[in-house]
Amino acid sequence: MRRLGVRLLITGCLAFGFSVFVLGADTVTEPPDFKEIYELVRAHARGVTPVELDRAAANALVSALAPKVMLVGDDANSSETARPLAKVTLFEGDLLYFRIERVAVGLAEALRKEYVAAGKTNKLKGLVLDLRYATGQDYAAAADAADVFMAKERPLLSWGSGSARSKEKPDLLVVPLAVLVNHQTSGSAEALAAIIRETGAGLILGIRTAGQAAVAEEFPLKNGQRLRIATGPVQLGDGTALSPEGVNPDIAVSVAPQDERTYYADTFGVAPGTNFLALANLSLTNQANGTDRSRRTRINEAELVRERRDRPAVETGLSGVRENEPEKPSIRDPALARALDLLKGLAVVRHSRS
């Protein structure tokens, strides 16, 4: 711990624009005492005030120990007001999309209501659970949300003195599930994603999560912030503890952070500097109105009837020929496009096996 303290102090000093060196470290087995280094720097460092030194040491300490130790301020307060279920969209008539901003009380009920309602009026082929930028510290709410998609009873999660199991639901509509995550997926949102994968309910797409899923206690600081310290692990139903390294995706979809923010705000928008050729090749079937017709090998009965009905007018050159309907915008969000393609592929496999 003393070695860490010295390294933190040196790092903090460098961050504030003044230098500290420890000489002869290669010839000494016992690391120097942190307090001794701190006092010497405070007494002799040129142009360094005690306030600057304290700030450097504190910031370096929190930074180096993250995510086990974190400063919580106004940004966390704003996340606590985020909506649990922020958006519900039906893509192509059979792919349901849920955007979650915060995993908290009320999320499970909102998911259940929308999921059941969509299943009654549409023949669902898949579901996307978007947990990018989602936060939360309520692990009971994470387990409840995961239970919405579980047909059988099984252990889901344990944290501190709490634990949760799914309930058996014989009449549950079960469809392929894809979960989107990124570096800003944190806390109980990470737990929700991990439960879905561990139970085999779905696959995770995106990039590694924040690694902040842990039982934590918060302590108020004099400046109005709070210091959140991890005090215990959060474990999945099989006993695996969620790692401070985060949850790794099953399918990696890497997007530049600023571009991902753009796509997240507008699914059909184009991020600045987008390579359109690469974007066109990203996904085989990423159009909002269905599979790309140029790649389709089979057509359904309705399309066959329409083709047979329209063909005579085209062949005889009669007036009033129906023009092609304008093409609907394509989904530009790489992670979402990949998830929708995956779900459509799984739907084809399930149909061929039935």
Residues 97 and 149 in one domain: yes
> Does residue 175 sit in the same domain as residue 83?
yes
Q: What is the CATH number of the domain that holds 191?
A: 3.90.226.10
Check whether residue 187 and residue 226 sit in a common domain: yes
Which residue from 348, 306, 344 is spatially nearest to 92, judged by alpha carbons?
344
At 51 the three-state DSSP class reads helix
pTM equals 0.74
CA atoms within 13 A on the CB side of 36: 6
d(C-alpha 217, C-alpha 284), whole Å: 46
Contact 90, 122 (CB under 8 A): yes
Distance CA 30, CA 133 (A): 43
Query: CA gyration radius for the chain?
Result: 26
Q: Are residues 108 and 231 in the same domain?
A: yes
In whole angstroms, what is the distance from residue 238 CA to residue 212 CA?
20
Could you tell me if 201 and 238 lie in one domain? Answer: yes
Bond prior to 67 in cis (omega within 30° of 0): yes
Residue 225: HSE in the Cβ half-sphere, 13 Å Cα cutoff: 11
DSSP 109-155: HHHHHHHHHHHHHS---EEEEE-TT-B---HHHHHHHHHTT--S--E
Q: Does some domain include residue 21?
A: yes
Instruction: Mark 246-282 as b/e (b = at least 16 C-beta within 10 Å).
Output: bbebeeebebeeebbebbbeebeeebeeeeeeebeeb
Same domain, 257 and 186: yes
Residue 335 in domain? yes
Residue 271 lies in a domain: no
Query: Residues 61, 161: one domain?
Result: no
What is the structure's pLDDT at 280? 41
Among 265, 290, 324, the domain-final residue is: 265
Whether residue 282 lies inside any domain: the answer is yes
Six token digits for residue 316? 């005889």
What pLDDT is attached to residue 324?
A: 55
Residues 288 and 321 in one domain: yes
For residues 272, 274, 276, 282, the Cα torsion angle rounded to the nearest 10 degrees is -130
Domain limit, last residue, from 218, 237, 265: 265
Q: Positive or negative CA dihedral for 268, 114, 168, 143?
A: positive
What pLDDT does 234 receive? 97
Residues 223 and 160 in one domain: yes
Domain-embedded: residue 133: yes
Residue 270 is assigned to a structural domain of this protein:
no
Residue 271's Cα: distance from chain center in Å? 19
| Token pair listed for 54 | 């304290």
Q: Are residues 84 and 207 in the same domain?
A: yes
Q: Which domain holds residue 32?
A: 2-65
| CA distance to 267, 287, 331, per residue, from 284 (Å) | 17, 9, 11
Q: Provide the number of structural domains found in the chain.
A: 3
Same domain, 233 and 134: yes
Angle between helices 107-121 and 139-147 (to 10 degrees): 10
Tokens of 89: 């969209």
Which of 265, 297, 319 terminates a domain? The answer is 265
Asked if residue 133 and residue 6 are part of one domain, the reply reads no
Break the chain down into helix, strand, coil percent, rounded to 5.
Answer: 40, 20, 40
| Domain-located, residue 219 | yes
Q: Is residue 70 included in any domain, yes or no?
A: no
Per-residue pLDDT in tens (0 to 9) along the chain, 354 residues: 555 554 555 555 545 555 555 555 556 567 778 788 888 888 888 888 888 888 888 888 888 888 889 888 755 445 566 889 999 999 999 999 999 999 999 999 999 999 999 999 999 999 999 999 999 999 999 999 999 999 999 999 999 989 999 999 998 988 999 999 999 999 999 999 999 999 999 999 999 999 999 999 999 999 899 999 999 999 999 999 999 999 999 999 999 999 999 999 999 877 666 554 444 444 333 434 333 333 334 444 444 444 444 444 333 343 444 445 556 678 999 999 999 999 999 988 877 776
